[in-house]
Amino acid sequence: MSAFCDDPPRPAVAADIVILCLREGALQVLLVRRGGDPFRGRWALPGGFLQEDEDLDACARREMEEETGVRPGRILQFANFSQPDRDPRGRVISVAYLALLRAEDVRLKASADAAEAAWRPLARTRNLAFDHDVILAAALARLSDEARADPAFLFPLLPPAFTLSRLQSVFELTTGRPVDKRNFRKLVEESGRIQPLEAFERGAHRPARLFAPA
């Protein structure tokens, strides 16, 4: 007699990805317009169902590559969403990921079940399909926490060489709070996470030294 008598429920599992970049001086999120039901025509986060031959990280990376045309470096699994009624098609558990990219590295393309893919400013992003408004809010809260713990978490949003002023502006943008320039510079320089370059950014003001991740 088999020791496994029960027939366990088999909910579907999906990965949804919050992909953020800096465009036009603001954080923007990658959204897809759904090409089929449910929520046909509504904007949603990119994502898809877990296939039998992959783990969740592989699923998230596959969906990202299909939506953006790039293979992401770091992805952060930050929460799961399992409300019974979150998907009208049935029981679906979503594992949510956060990815930061440089806009110039992304080649947008819609996937098979999406009619369109586009960057959207966060200020104009609401009323998403499923519970994706909740997922996006949770991702932004996690981004703020990660940035406060280690500003180097924000490096993927920046060009390969950047000024400390640029890093500070991105930090303030993602955490929603201003910081003292001198204290921030000291924190970052003493962290060992950056290295100075023999190059400067030149403009209307005093040339500013460029840095790169250490």
Residues assigned a catalytic role: 116
CA distance 168 to 160: 15
Burial of 183 (0-12, 13-18, 19+ CB in 10 A): exposed
* Distances from the Cα of 130 to the Cα of 47, 57, 139, angstroms: 12, 21, 16
| Residue whose entry in the numeric block shows the structure tokens 């400013």 | 121
- Helix 164-175, helix 132-149: angle, nearest 10: 140
Structural tokens at position 188: 């970052």
